[in-house]
Amino acid sequence: MSFRHLFHIPQQNGKDVIYFCGNSLGLQPKQTSAYIQEVLLQWQKNAVEAHFMSPNAWLHYHTLSQPILAQLTGANPSEVVATGTLTANLHFLLATFYRPTQNRYKILCEKGAFPSDRYALVSQIQWHGFSPENALIEVGNTDNNAIPNILSTSQIEDAIEKHADSIALILFAGVQYATGQYFDIQAITRKAHSVGAYAGFDLAHAIGNVPLRLHDWQVDFACWCSYKYLNAGPGGVGGLFVHQNTHLKPRLAGWWGHDLSTRFAMPADFIPEQGAQAWQVSNAPVLQLAALQASLDIFHQVGFDNLLQKSRQLTAYLQEKIISLNQKYQTDLIRIITPLHPNQRGCQLSISVNQNAKKLHEYLNSNGVICDWREPNIIRLTPVPLYNSFEDIDQAYQILDSYYQQI
């Protein structure tokens, strides 16, 4: 099963690169420009009228993505919406779910969370007049410069228990960006709820990568970006999930979250849309939604279960190759940081190397293996099942081997 031909593969020296960077920016589907072109053409020919003209009237364009986003997140379509951007959506969701009191004001997250999430959490805590020093609980190693450690579920549960009376909310990654660890979202949510806290997740590295069942797991809220595994292009439209059991929460409202049936009557008072759509704030970014749709239609065509199967095989194969390289040189040249169990990761393997990781990263990139390097000493290699192949892994292995032969 290959869907590689549906994507533009960047070239280096006349050859396809080995693109292992879908964890950062997914490749462009060949259909993306046609989807965007269609919107541009509607704008050219019909201008404002295009908001209401079928097919794909702009007023409803964001609803096209709801069924597929629902499949990818394990949600009901009304619980998800493509809107805004990740960090901004996180703030909007925190405005609803983080309502600290003198007794319950703490937020718990993983140590080494993506900086933007941490900035958002710290600023929310301060915004409400609390101090991050005692209100932000970070689970994991204490050394700020260390690679975040792999957390056991019981470690996370214990941390929640320890602050049981004072936790307002937990905000965890679905898949940790640096280590590639896929956390047990269901267990974390259950534990958070057992102490009376809300459970939210940043799914930037999880959506389109690992199986999710947000509705059944009773997750309260989640948000994500679409430029990684969803291949919607740089700065693509984000998305959010709000569980349907969430009723009558306060929110920071904007007109695009107002009930559609009266939105254009321009009423003074806000009446929320049904479900997650109520958390939309501004006009939907239709050009970006078109780019997202081009990719989501591929997910729909492929079927996520098929993709997962290939994903596990590809990542296991990469793991095998790395281990065989260590065996060849009879030393731990490369340490795999990401958990080895397939249920605890997606397609990304994060590695650390004994010697200069930056030098290895430069060698890989200049030899056509496009991957990324993250402080303090991590290279992320991500075979994405939609467009990477087993041959990509064989070639990457040869290039890694040639590096170690010459140093």
Which residue has the closest beta carbon to ligand PLP?
Answer: 87
- Backbone φ and ψ for 110, nearest 5 degrees, come out as -80, 145
**Of residues 195 and 381, the one with the C-beta less far from ligand PLP:** 381
Report how far residue 55's alpha carbon sits from residue 38's, in angstroms, rounded to the nearest whole number: 11
Could you tell me the maximum CA-CA distance found in the chain, to the nearest angstrom? Answer: 73
| 318 neighbors 384 (Cβ within 8 angstroms) | no
Q: Please tell me whether residue 309 binds ligand PLP under the rule CB under 6 A.
A: no
Residue 82 CB, nearest approach to ligand PLP (Å): 13
Amino acid at 330: Q
Among 225, 292, 357, 400, binds ligand PLP (CB under 6 A): 225
Report how far residue 386's alpha carbon sits from residue 7's, in angstroms, rounded to the nearest whole number: 9
**Of residues 114 and 397, the one with the C-beta less far from ligand PLP:** 114
Among 25, 70, 204, 242, binds ligand PLP (CB under 6 A): 204
Among 177, 201, 217, 403, binds ligand PLP (CB under 6 A): 177
Q: Please tell me whether residue 87 binds ligand PLP under the rule CB under 6 A.
A: yes
Sign of CA dihedral 126, 279, 86, 107: positive
**Of residues 110 and 184, the one with the C-beta less far from ligand PLP:** 110
Q: Please tell me whether residue 116 binds ligand PLP under the rule CB under 6 A.
A: yes
Q: Interacting stretch for ligand PLP, rule CB under 6 A, among 55-63, 148-156, 199-207, 259-267?
A: 199-207
Q: Please tell me whether residue 91 binds ligand PLP under the rule CB under 6 A.
A: no
Question: In 121-238, where do the E strands start and end?
Answer: 136-139, 167-173, 198-202, 221-224
Q: Please tell me whether residue 205 binds ligand PLP under the rule CB under 6 A.
A: yes
Report how far residue 325's alpha carbon sits from residue 287's, in angstroms, rounded to the nearest whole number: 45
Amino acid at 90: L
Q: Please tell me whether residue 110 binds ligand PLP under the rule CB under 6 A.
A: no
Tell the burial category of 346 from Cβ atoms under 10 Å away from its Cβ (0-12, 13-18, 19+): buried
- Indicate the DSSP class of residue 53: P
Residues in the chain: 407
Residue 144 CB, nearest approach to ligand PLP (Å): 18
Q: Please tell me whether residue 392 binds ligand PLP under the rule CB under 6 A.
A: no
**Of residues 225 and 278, the one with the C-beta less far from ligand PLP:** 225
Report how far residue 379's alpha carbon sits from residue 179's, in angstroms, rounded to the nearest whole number: 10
**Of residues 87 and 319, the one with the C-beta less far from ligand PLP:** 87
**Of residues 225 and 337, the one with the C-beta less far from ligand PLP:** 225
Among 32, 66, 85, 288, binds ligand PLP (CB under 6 A): 85
- Beta strand 80-82 with 239-242 is antiparallel
Report how far residue 324's alpha carbon sits from residue 394's, in angstroms, rounded to the nearest whole number: 12
**Of residues 214 and 322, the one with the C-beta less far from ligand PLP:** 214
Q: Please tell me whether residue 288 binds ligand PLP under the rule CB under 6 A.
A: no
Q: Please tell me whether residue 86 binds ligand PLP under the rule CB under 6 A.
A: yes
Quickly list DSSP for 73-127. Answer: HT--GGGEEE-S-HHHHHHHHHHHH----SS--EEEEETT--HHHHHHHHHHHHH
Site size for ligand PLP (CB under 6 A): 12
Which residues would be at the binding site for ligand PLP (CB under 6 A)?
85-87, 114, 116-117, 173, 177, 202, 204-205, 225
